[in-house]
Amino acid sequence: MSDVRTRSGPRWHTEPDRVEVGGAELALRRDGAGEPLLYLHGHWLTRCWSPFHARLAERADVIAPEAPGFGDSPCPPWVTDRTDVVLLYRALLDALGLDRVHLAGHGLGAWLAADFAILNPGRVKSLTVLAPFGLRVPGEPIADVFIADPATYDDLYFSGEPVEGVVPGPGTPELGGPEEFAARYGDMGGAARLMWDFRYDLKLERRLPPLGLPALVVTADDDRVVPPAHGARWAELLGARSHALPGGHAFPVQHPERTADLITDFLTEAHDA
């Protein structure tokens, strides 16, 4: 995968492959060699193969689909909730001939990864969640990303240390141009379909502990979207180790090598256990 940007694409834009599964077309980017790792994006940062993906691919076979309604994946009208997305990801593994994979996700993608593991435990070798959405922690709400003012993005997502050319959320037409604004707005529409009312599922409190999977939780020291207390609760429920990295919610793009190395080191340990 190349590190390029097109006039109408985000930073690190790459063209995807396209796979027909379960009555839907999923955009897919895949590279690397080693243990298969299904990586699920969050509510933004689609249509690209970032330095974080590239670093993961140095030590793993990284499969990075885009959920229906995100990036280059069209959304069939019947995809209305997270279970629909999880079933399509399962169909994708079937189409790729992959029986069991390591699973990782960021933000909303971490929540989807947990849902996938709950519904398909026999197909998951390990679970890694990065700044995960999905739990309700009293007094520590996840930020409402749908009402965030674009003027606050640097503070909210990057804790004041933005990465050039990376704009979370829909932004404005002035940030990247009208075509890029439209694409990001589409991503937020896809996210709204899955978590408009709540950024949590109360059933996770009961469903996570029985998984018994090797698990890793990675958070950021200054995440202003997902408070650190969420990572601690995920680690407690999963019986997982937890690591905190510097930066904000966008830490996989702020610190791509450190984040990827934490994950691939963990995959190696889980494989050898």
Complete DSSP assignment for 141-162: PPP-TTS--GGGHHHHHHTT-P
Residue 38 — φ and ψ, nearest 5°? -85, 115
Task: Return the structure tokens found at 104.
Answer: 């990782």
Cα dihedral across residues 118, 120, 122, 124: positive or negative? negative
Q: Flag whether pLDDT at 257 surpasses 70.
A: yes
Report the Cα 114 to chain-centroid distance in Å: 11
Task: Return the structure tokens found at 222.
Answer: 């200054």
> Which 3 state secondary structure label does DSSP give 211?
helix
Instruction: Name the average pLDDT for the chain.
Output: 94
Question: Which residue type sits at 187?
Answer: D
How does DSSP classify residue 223?
A: -
**What is the band of 172 on the pLDDT scale with cuts at 50, 70, 90?**
confident
Q: pLDDT tens for residues 201-233? A: 999 999 999 999 999 999 999 999 999 999 999
Rounded (5°) CA angle 84-89-90: 95
Q: Flag whether pLDDT at 2 surpasses 70.
A: no
Q: pLDDT tens for residues 174-207? A: 877 888 889 989 999 999 999 999 999 999 999 9
- Catalogue all structural domains in the chain, each as residue range(s) with its CATH number: 17-272 (3.40.50.1820)
**What is the band of 273 on the pLDDT scale with cuts at 50, 70, 90?**
low
| Beta strands in the chain, from DSSP E residues, in sequence order | 17-21, 24-31, 35-40, 60-65, 101-106, 124-130, 215-220, 241-245
pLDDT of residue 30: 98
pTM for this one?
A: 0.95
pLDDT of residue 9: 63
